Structure 1
Amino acid sequence: MDWRLKRNCSMAPRQLLAFYLSLCILSLGIATMFWFQGARMIMTFAWIELFAVGLALWVVARHATDSESIVLRNDRLTVEVANGQQVERVEFQPAWVRVEPAHGDQSLIELSGQGRRIAVGRFVRPELRSQLAQELRHALRRWQQGAARPSPV
């Protein structure tokens, strides 16, 4: 069983780059026209503006591919949380995993067991997190009953 949870992004990092480059061309083109008209300060402000917008878009693009992956296979429950350049990976034995909200019904879902814990559900609407927790509990129960285990070949 797999759960793949991703950030809802309207633009991929490449699309953000294309948007930014078109913005640079337009803004510097207008600033260049003012430069030749004698308004030299416009170019300085255009560069400052483009630097600020570029920095903001860079921050957005770094987190555009954030995701959470929960995989229940064989005798392992593997959880990976990617946040920017950091990837946190935790493996559990399914029989020892507890699934519970971290602080309340609509808070993140905390998976814990064997001295490890990890929170998931950042990319699920708060009102749907309890449904995700129920799905995880159900899958773990099925695994414990042997229904989710593959037959030996």
Structure 2
Amino acid sequence: MSATTPPGVPRVMGRSPSPRAFRFGHESGGTAGEWAVEWTLKRNCSLAPRQLLGFYSVLCGLSLAVATFFWWQGARLVMPFTWAELVAVGVAMLVYARHAGDNERIALRSGRLTVEHAWGGRREQVEFAPQWVRVEAEAGDESLVELSGQGQRVWVGRYLRPEFRRQLADELRMALRHPGLAADGRAVNGFLN
């Protein structure tokens, strides 16, 4: 007898996934056996900063070799324009590398929901009591998922395509309703959206 898996849901070791399978989040047993789930949303980058440095080094070497050849041939203005070009490209690559590691981490553990946003070397962190969190997914094309509660508000989903943000909001709601979430063993109730 074989089990069927819905389209788009991976099979794990020949078994069907649990009904709480997450697309963007990763469940774990946590410390001391407590249930936890974490979402890590990152910018889609073609080159890592180290690869970018290697590419820029090769570009500088080739450009300076060509400029040096023409400078020796008598074209004296080639070298200053080459340096100006390399500085401009270097600045653009530095801006790219600075934001290549931008990400959002959402961690849900017993007793707290932590949202951390890293952007250009800066970090913002907000913590919520899970039973008081409200999840709002606006209907607009470019809108983010809003998490609010206890007088705090934060938006997540910057690094997801807009059509997947509603699914992220659904995952967050499902995780916030998980019975293993309450710190004192009682199931979380009625305060969730």
Q: Do these two structures clear the TM 0.5 threshold for a shared fold by scoring above it?
A: yes
Higher helix fraction: Structure 1 or Structure 2? Answer: 1
Match of 1:147 in 2: 180
Aligned-pair distance for 1:147?
2.6
CA contact (8 A) 1:7 1:64 kept: yes
2-side partners of 1:27 and 1:81: how far apart? 38
Aligned-partner SS, 1:147: helix
Any unmatched runs of 5+ in structure 1?
none
Match of 1:129 in 2: 165
* 2:90 is the counterpart of 1:54: yes
Aligned-partner SS, 1:69: strand
RMSD of the alignment, in Å?
Answer: 1.6
CA contact (8 A) 1:106 1:129 kept: no
Match of 1:43 in 2: 79
Aligned-partner SS, 1:47: helix
Structure 1 pair 105/55, CA: closer, same or farther in 2 (3 Å)?
closer
The counterpart of 1:96, out of the listed 99, 120, 132, is: 132
* TM-score normalised according to structure 1 size: 0.92
CA contact (8 A) 1:97 1:113 kept: yes
Q: Percent identity?
A: 61
Any unmatched runs of 5+ in structure 2?
1-36, 186-193
CA contact (8 A) 2:110 2:182 kept: yes
Aligned amino acid, residue 9 of structure 1 = C
The counterpart of 2:65, out of the listed 24, 29, 38, is: 29
Match of 1:86 in 2: 122
Match of 1:11 in 2: 47
Match of 1:77 in 2: 113
1-side partners of 2:166 and 2:72: how far apart? 61
May I ask how many residue pairs the two structures share in their alignment?
A: 149
